């Protein structure tokens, strides 16, 4: 006859603690959470508390010390995160840009990015990038419009919320088009050198920037495809082409 082991609250707590430890570490390695996130700290805090509870029936001093230290470190980390978040302040235009293009970026990372860049006013005719020359920055168009030309031919118009230079900013190659402001506007400019350095040293920051640039590239590709389909669609008989 198969005898099943008896489980009490302490053994269940131990199993839960192991599951939380392994689950949090697995989620970290698979990229579902990041190491300095609140979720990771909470999972480790809960895991240590569960294992510590299980030690009440089979006490081990060294294991208890490890779990208590793990709890203290998690609490210190969450407290530090809370204090950092309380000190962070964004301007109205910072908030609007972050909500528009960097909604998933943690406030400390967003604060570092905002400090890295600068807000600038542009006037009609201001060249934001020139075809064949290194852009040197990632630019966010907060207000106003801009015309995009390739070899002198207009290929697109940029609206508020668009990025400029997202294709070439990572590898530092020459701009593929010339972008000129068509009216008064406001831009946020992120210098390439500082942006790349921060991405090389901060995985979470690199992930957030990469996601924003990928979404922008996909959005512009979908827009270009839609325009191409409209251009190629046959005109009804007797209707003038537009």
Domain parsing of the chain, residue ranges: 9-87, 92-229
Beta strand segments in the chain, E: 118-122, 127-129, 137-143, 146-150, 153-158, 163-164, 178-181, 185-191
- Range 92-229 classified under CATH 2.60.120.10: yes
Higher pLDDT, 128 or 169: 128
Query: Quick one: pLDDT at residue 210?
Result: 87
Using one digit for the tens of pLDDT, what is the confidence trace for 182-202? Answer: 999 999 999 999 999 999 888
How many degrees, rounded to 5, is the angle at CA 126 between CA 120 and CA 131? 110
Query: Quick one: pLDDT at residue 240?
Result: 36
Q: How confident is the model at residue 229 (pLDDT cuts 50, 70, 90)?
A: low
For 2, other C-beta atoms within 10 Å of its C-beta total: 3
Q: Which residue has the tokens 């089979």?
A: 58
Cα–Cα distance, 124 to 126 (Å, whole number): 6
Q: What per-residue string of b and e applies to 72-97 under the rule 16 or more CB within 10 Å gives b?
A: eebeebeeebeeeeeeeeeeeebeeb
Q: How confident is the model at residue 5 (pLDDT cuts 50, 70, 90)?
A: low
pTM (2 decimals)? 0.65
Query: Quick one: pLDDT at residue 225?
Result: 72
Instruction: With residue 31 as reference, give the H or E element that holds it.
Output: none
* Whether pLDDT at 237 is above 70: no
Highest mean pLDDT among 43-47, 102-106, 213-217: 43-47
Q: How confident is the model at residue 231 (pLDDT cuts 50, 70, 90)?
A: low
* Whether pLDDT at 13 is above 80: yes
């Amino acid at each position: 006859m198969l005898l099943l082991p008896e489980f009490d609250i302490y053994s269940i707590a131990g199993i839960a603690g192991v599951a939380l430890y392994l689950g949090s570490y697995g989620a970290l390695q698979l990229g579902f959470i990041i190491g300095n996130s609140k979720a990771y700290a909470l999972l480790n805090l809960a895991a240590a508390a569960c294992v510590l509870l299980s030690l009440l029936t089979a006490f081990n001093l060294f294991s208890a010390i490890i779990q208590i230290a793990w709890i203290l470190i998690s609490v210190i980390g969450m407290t530090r995160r809370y204090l950092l978040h309380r000190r962070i302040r964004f301007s109205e235009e910072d908030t609007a840009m972050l909500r528009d293009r960097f909604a998933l970026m943690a406030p400390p990372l967003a604060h570092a990015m905002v400090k890295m860049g600068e807000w600038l006013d542009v006037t009609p005719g201001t060249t934001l990038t020139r075809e064949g020359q290194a852009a040197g920055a990632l630019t966010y168009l907060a207000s106003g419009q801009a015309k995009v030309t390739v070899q002198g031919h207009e290929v697109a118009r940029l609206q508020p919320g668009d990025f400029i230079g997202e294709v070439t900013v990572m590898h530092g190659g020459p701009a593929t088009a010339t972008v000129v402001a068509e009216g008064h506007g406001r831009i946020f400019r992120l210098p390439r050198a500082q942006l790349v350095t921060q991405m090389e040293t901060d995985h979470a920051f690199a992930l957030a920037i990469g996601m924003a640039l990928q979404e922008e590239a996909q959005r512009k590709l979908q827009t270009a495809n839609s325009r191409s389909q409209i251009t190629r669609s046959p005109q009804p008989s007797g209707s003038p082409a537009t």
